[in-house]
Structure 1
Amino acid sequence: MTLSQLQYFCAVCRYHSITRAAQSLYISQPTISTAIHELEKEFHLSLFLHTPNKIVLTEEGAAFYQKADELLKRVRNMEEEFSHSGQSLRPLRIGIPPILSTVFLPQLTEEFEETYHIPLQLTECASHRAAELVQEEKLDILLGNLDVYNLEQYHYHLMQEDHYVYCVSKNHPLAQASSVTLPDLKDESIILFHMDSVQAVTIQSAFQALSLKPQVKLYISQLTTMMKYLESGRYGAFLYSSIPIDETKFVRLPLKPEIKAKFGILWKKGIFLSHGLEQWIRFVKSRG
């Protein structure tokens, strides 16, 4: 028995529906069904009766719910008591790739902290690495690119979709182009973010799919450094279209065909949702 199993079970009891319980917890229906099945198997109980319109607790299920609900309330009380007993609340640990910091920060995090008074601890790292740290429970959540992950290993919420553009300075030979294709860029000097970033993996895979090898001259970790190199007019870089740039110095060239990207939050399956994590998920989802 785990706290997350009890949390899922109690949600079904409150909503009389696996579908609504899954929606309230931002997880899949099979995850809840599996948790309930495991509880029934462990304790040799039949917890629910299924009717055409809803599911109803059995007598032993009602007794189990009373105990489970009391236990979860004690856990919540303990969490709040000991979170406040120190000098500060335990922060919610969020991993975010540097390139997306300019898209989502600081407005998103400042609004959350001001509204819920829950501190956030941000760690800049590639989405690949951040997802690994979420799985290892060294981070609570990833705010990043969702494109290359096996999402079946995680719960996630899609925040927005975007696409890549090719960014050059206004003194670059391609600056007047209306659009570019990957074959157009096969001999261009290109800058990518570090090799384990989603951006680098996505772009290199797109070139490889066309049997092309990009001329990557630099792998860089910071957007500001990348833009300084672009100013010379010798390099180009792939950026998300939503990344703000100085339009007096640089231009965004559309890619044909588009290479799309998806941004969102991602957290580990099967964990007990702390108060802070639950509030963060609700907050992000409320923003669309």
Structure 2
Amino acid sequence: MNLNQLYYFRELAEQRQYTKAADSLFISQPTLSVSIKQLEKELHCKLFKHSGRYVELTKYGRIFYNTVVSSLTTLDNGKRKLKQTINQDKGNIHIAGIPTTIGTLLPKLVASYQQIVDTSPHFIYHDNPSYQICKGIENGWYDLGICSFVPEFKNFTYIPFYTEDIVAIVSEKNELAQINEITPEELRGESLITYSQKIQIGKDVTNALLSIASDLNITNRMHDELAIAGQVLTNNIIGIVADTIYLDGFDIHKIKLDIPKNTRTVYLVYDPERYLSPEILDFIDFLNSEKSNINKYNSKANSI
């Protein structure tokens, strides 16, 4: 019995089809079939039975599956912790952030940190949406994250870091370009575009809007401010976005939107169950100490 056989067995048990399991494992179907037969021969029992186009675990297979899943999970966690510790011992800190943070805020914070410490770790940046950041922390790919709160990872430590204003944006030719403040109720009947609900900011903004005016007409959704602003100019509709530096390149008018200030809160995130080196803990302390000074790292107040 070897590790590959155990991974193959788990994948087949979960996919329930040789073809799908083989594709997921990037091996041929005959290779998977031979591996399972060898495993069954060694264990002196049948692990799978055929059910039409699918396979199902036998009684013996179910017993073995629970053991395999538990063992591989423990092994995978150990490998992730080992990799993380090796990276930290090399003086590396992997930090992931939402794109606006990685592109503007974080490099300035790191530069300030490096000016006050004798020896600085080597920072490796990764940009991702919030869910992928948290998934990366869970998998041991990243040490720290700067992103939204993600409910699927509520066991993480989330430290409120900064907020971004949510604004309505319109073309300078739009009749709403004459006003500077608006409420969600006043947007009834308008065609709106905001973030995709596949990302956390999209969920947060949509919930904030619809909790105030449940009948708003959100006709389209995009993944970032660049795409939304482009649609606003092309189709003369109203965008609902975070007021980030990405908007600076567009000839648009911003309107203050009357929704809760904390609708868009960005957090410093880490897994409290994972080992954090003294260097990482020191950097976390530094970031905490700088929360009240975030605006000085940005080109304008409340913009990241």
TM-score bracket, shorter-length normalisation: 0.5 to 0.7
Structure 2: distance between partners of 1:103 and 1:168: 24
The CA deviation at 1:154 is 1.7
Matched, 1:92 2:88: no
Counterparts of 1:1-288 in structure 2, within 5 Å, are 83=90, 89=91, 91-101=92-102, 104-112=105-113, 115=117, 116-146=119-149, 149=151, 153-209=155-211, 210-221=213-224, 223-232=225-234, 234-241=236-243, 243=245, 245-246=247-248, 249-260=251-262, 261-288=264-291
CA contact (8 A) 1:192 1:218 kept: yes
1:167–1:237 contact (8 Å) kept in structure 2: yes
Amino acid at match of 1:165: V
Greater relative CO, 1 or 2 (CA 8 Å, sep 6+): 1
Mark the CA change 1:80 to 1:96 in structure 2 (over 3 Å): closer, same or farther.
Answer: closer
Residue 248 to residue 124, structure 1, CA distance change in 2 (3 Å) = closer
* Structure with more helix by fraction: 2
Q: Secondary structure at the match of 2:248?
A: coil
Task: Measure how far apart 1:151 and its partner are.
Answer: 7.7
Q: Contact 2:180–2:254 (CA<8 Å) still a contact in 1?
A: no
**Partner-residue secondary structure (3-state), 1:139:** coil
Whole-Å separation in 1 of the counterparts to 2:259 and 2:221: 24
1:205 aligned partner, one-letter code: N
Cα 1:186–1:202 shift into 2, 3 Å = farther
Note if contact 1:162-1:241 (Cα within 8 Å) is conserved in structure 2. yes
Q: Percent identity over the alignment?
A: 15
The alignment's TM-score, normalised by the length of structure 1, stands at: 0.59
Q: Which runs of 5+ in 2 are unaligned?
A: 1-84, 292-304
2:65 matched residue in structure 1: none
Q: CA deviation at 1:141?
A: 1.4
**Aligned position for 1:18:** none
Q: Deviations over 1:102-155 (max 9, x none)?
A: 552431234345655322222222212312322232221111223x54785122
TM-score, length of structure 2 as denominator length: 0.56
Distance apart, 1:217 and its partner CA: 2.0
Compared CA separation, residues 100 and 165, structure 1 to 2 (3 A): farther
For residues 175 and 253 of structure 2, the distance between their equivalents in structure 1, rounded to whole angstroms, comes to: 12
Q: Retained in 2: the 8 A contact 1:164–1:258?
A: no
Deviations 1:52-100 (A, max 9, x none): xxxxxxxxxxxxxxxxxxxxxxxxxx969952xxxxx4x3222212244
Aligned residues of 1:166 and 1:239 also touching (Cα < 8 A) = yes
Structure 2: distance between partners of 1:152 and 1:111: 30
Structure 1 residues not aligned, in runs of 5+: 1-77, 84-88
Q: Secondary structure in 2 aligned to 1:232? A: helix
Distance 1:248 1:127 in 2: 25
Q: Kindly provide the CA deviation profile for residues 223-268 of structure 1, in whole angstroms up to 9, marking residues without a partner as x.
A: 3343333333613322334546439822221112435222220100
CA distance in 1, matches of 2:239, 2:109: 26
Q: Are 2:169 and 2:229, in contact at CA under 8 Å, matched by a contact in 1?
A: no
- CA 1:234–1:177: 2 relative to 1, 3 Å: same
Closer, same or farther in 2 for the Cα pair 1:82/1:215, shift >3 Å? Answer: closer
In angstroms, what is the RMSD of aligned CA positions?
A: 3.3
Cα separation, partners in 2 of 1:269 and 1:104, compared to 1, 3 Å: same
Q: CA 1:110/1:187 → structure 2, altered by over 3 Å: closer, same or farther?
A: farther
The structure number with the bigger radius of gyration is 2
Distance 2:210 2:88 in 1: 54
